[in-house]
Chain A
Amino acid sequence: MRNHSLKANLTGYAFISPFIIGFLAFTLIPMFISLYLSFTSYNLFSPPRWVGLDNFEKMFTGDPKYWNSVKVTLYYVFIGVPLRLTFALFVAMILNTGSKMIGTYRTIYYLPSIIGGSVAVSIMWRNIFSEQGIVNGLLMALGAAPVQWFGDPGAALSMLITLSVWQFGSSMLIFLAGLKNISPEMYEAASVDGAHPVRKFFSITLPLLSPIILFNLIMQTISAFMTFVPAYIISKGEGGPMDGTMLYSLYLFRQAFMFNNMGYASAMAWVMLIFIGVLTLILFKTSKMWVFYESEGGR
């Protein structure tokens, strides 16, 4: 019997060994290295030099560019993600009314999300918002003044946020799957009781969808914090104008690979890790108050 369980254990570990090796080599050991480097000054060419908390001190008190990147990223995340999820839910509800064209709509709304991470789309976005681009053309046609999208840090950031909202397709599909799981009888019963659509939305749809809202919220928030390619391409790697598109990941990238401040970049990465960890924890903890599970222990 003992022999058997040893064999079973060995077989199990044989199957998952790629994960364990990969986790150690590409995640756990790098994380320790990163933690160590965050207390050093290291430029890749001479050995790391221990500087204690200097990196963190500089970050919090002596680097306005750092705080700017924090501010820009928080704007990007806390405006972009709710907008994106609201759009996603709105469109999912329209599609859920059971249109025959659903396949076509799926294509129209989801395709942007599929290609959204590509350089091509970022280049396109850059040109759509360029000075003589189509957005300004439309603004002028409507009688409004054209906007200097690449001259004004706020405008440049809204351009990035628009791009992220445009790619709401994947959250939309997850909402759609969730909406399909709500039984029509619920709505019928509510109709019999005389509930109007707004009431139904707040009393049935939102509560039953809340676990999925939580899931989307967490995944989208994490990925938004790590946005890199659009900011990198649209600003040609500079984070401009006036650091208006200097997202945290882009600033970290520049510190590490343009200025060779590997220690400082590692410290930045750890602050981000801790921040995202705490934020996720808060979302989970507070979710008990607003997430509704139909069957406790479900999902």
Chain B
Amino acid sequence: MTVWQALGGRGYLRSAWPWRSVAFLASGALFGAVVLVGIVAGVAVGAATAVVLVGLPLLVLTALAGIPVAAVERWRVRTAGVGAAPAGAHRVPDAPGLARWLVVRLKEPETWRELAYAVLLALVLWPLDALVVTFAAGVPLFLLATPLLVAVEGEAKVVKLWTVDTWPAATGAALAGGVLLLAGAYVLGVAAGARAQVVKALLGARGHDSARVAELVRSRVRLVDAFEAERRRIERDLHDGAQQRLVALTMRLGLARLDVPPGPLADQLATAHGEAEKALAELRELIHGIHPKVLADYGLEAAVADAADRSAIPVDVHLDLPGRLSQPVESAAYFVVCEALANVGRHSGASRAVVSGGHDEGRLTLEVRDDGRGGADLAGGTGLTGLADRVSVLDGRLFLSSPPGGPTLLRVEIPCRPTEPCA
């Protein structure tokens, strides 16, 4: 429930909403004043001492001031409940360390959006908050207190304009104060609601966008799943259909050759036999590339060892996995290794490669390094970009370090848990 809904209801005046609104606005005025002092002091001292370099960190700190300010503002909206609580959209740094955090913060628009809000709060919003509280709550309360002041001090100055010193005037002022207080309660509610709206508009995550991003990620996951299922279907169809027929055909051709006396016919048969065998070998490689059986049956370690065996250059494998991983993870990791080894064989000029990896702290880490000439580029090859996409669907990441002159290091991290081997 927000203050807007409460304002429409009948029990608004008797509810806690006017109190919440005034607390929200008053705390906003106080906080805004503090922010103003902080920013002015930060900029002034920072600029003054920038020449001696002490001020620069202070200026950076001031630039980051929007982050805690925004956090407090979001917290105020959430706690007072006057409007829909907005959520921030800061990025999570991809590596630990203060320096990395600083770079990410200073680079992302969210930080500057929040700083802009802090400045707006310091210059515009908090005086408005204070004004509303003063006129909608302060003045009516003062009017209500007029008789008391007259009794104690003999006179009271109403809004610094006119002096009340008679009882009838004081009673009138008190009555007016009561009416104004009731009206003010509504004004406070409206102001608090509007103020929360401002916070939400300026500090809220782009809600619509994030919903769409989530939907996009989901649809990508579905697409990859469908793609995997299709691979398996094709692999099975080729296995149980075309391959079996070709094997039967080569066998019959082989048997026929035994019965045919030497001559042109025997030569023809021999050629046909050879062709069929070649087709069979090609089909076998094709099926293996689509989805290797050993990956399904024995898991990632065996499949990577197998890929290493097939590689054109010598490959050492040091893998230490706790067991089987989920099927999409194994599949993505395997194809990353295959693509990396294919690239090593094709482009790197390396004489040796090492595949190492393990499972630690809930994530699978795989590294493929070679001693080649380097210069590989994620943007250059379509293969690696496609793999990066597949890995990112699993919330994983793919890093490539390949300075000219080498060596090249490809690293994949995928969060996952070991699974029980399926029977």
Specify whether A and B are partners: no
Which residues does B use to contact A, with CB under 8 Å?
A: none
Which residues does A use to contact B, with CB under 8 Å?
A: none
